[in-house]
Amino acid sequence: MQQINQNQAMGYDRASITFSPDGRLLQVEYAKKTVKQGASAMGLVCRDGVVLIADKRINEKLIVPSSIEKTFQVDEHIGATATGLVMDGRILIEKAQLIAQQHRIVFDSAIDLLSLVKEVSNIKQAFTQYGGARPFGVSLLFAAVNGRPQLFVTDPTGIFFEYKATGIGENEIEIKQMLDKEYKESMTIAEATKLGVSILKRVLAKEFDMDRLDVAYISTKDKKFRRCSKEELQKAK
């Protein structure tokens, strides 16, 4: 009898559109587990901007660190990072870049972050509802300055939330616990970067290396996406 029940349960995880008897979409849950195995990333909203910090997780000594990109420019005032299946993230970020460009052409103005996040989240949700394709196995952090600094997270289900500071990836729980204790809304970009580097240093322990970090920020001063240089990161060490 137990073997029969197991065989019946197996059938519910073969399509993202099939609900299990207890009301779960198992393929979507597997996608969320994939995200938890991805490299760590975090975002922090500051009084003068917003910061994205991502771990490149370099697994081979002969890889050129600068060839790995984990923070991406979506528009002049928008940045993003992905955790989970990075190839899925690249497709969604390229779609976000296209949406932002089309908005500028049609309306002659920069897109607001909430509208962009909704568009990307709708794409993710569609892949949990229609057959013939698997869900996106990636969570995305979107950061921007639209009047004020903003940070959003989208997960494989297509849901999204706005945060003051958060982490995603394999060390998500530890990062969030540290942010709960140490994050302050009054932080500057430099202070937030220093905190983020410190948190990754603690969660990665012996594996920590400054070459593994990809850090970008958007300042309220000029509202432009910029990557931190090695010199800036050394100061935050």
Structural element, H or E, at residue 82: strand 78-84
In a domain, 16, yes or no: no
Q: Give DSSP secondary structure letters for 134-170.
A: PPP-EEEEEEEEESEEEEEEE-TTS-EEE-SEEEEST
Per-residue pLDDT of 175-219, as tens digits, reads 999 999 999 999 999 999 999 999 999 999 888 888 889 999 999
Residue 26 lies in a domain: no
Structure tokens at 221: 């001063």
CA distance 213 to 69: 10
What is the extent of the structural domain holding 71?
40-227+229-233
The dihedrals phi and psi of 60, each to the nearest 5 degrees, come to -125, 135
pLDDT band per the 50, 70, 90 thresholds, residue 1: very low
| Cβ neighbours for 126, distance < 8 A, ≥ 6 positions apart | 158
What domain count does the chain have?
1
The tokens for 212 are 């593994």
pLDDT tens for residues 117-151?
A: 999 999 999 999 887 888 999 999 999 998 899 99
CATH number at residue 99: 3.60.20.10
> Running DSSP on this structure, what letter comes out for residue 61?
T
Residue 193 is assigned to a structural domain of this protein: yes
188 within 8 A of 36, measured Cβ to Cβ: no
Asked, for residue 19, whether it belongs to a domain, the answer is no
How many residues belong to the chain?
237
What CA–CA distances, in Å, run from 31 to 6, 78, 106?
Answer: 21, 25, 35
pLDDT at 7 over 60: no
At residue 60, the pLDDT reads 84
pLDDT at 2 over 70: no
Q: Which of 10-14, 21-25, 34-38 has the lowest mean pLDDT?
A: 10-14
pTM summary value? 0.91
Give me the mean pLDDT over the 18-40 stretch.
89
Smallest Cα–Cα separation from 52: which of 205, 172, 227, 186? 227
Q: Provide the pLDDT confidence category of residue 79 given band limits of 50, 70 and 90.
A: very high
Q: What is the pLDDT of residue 203?
A: 95
Residue 3 binned pLDDT confidence (cut-offs 50, 70, 90): very low
Tell me if 120 is assigned to some domain. Answer: yes
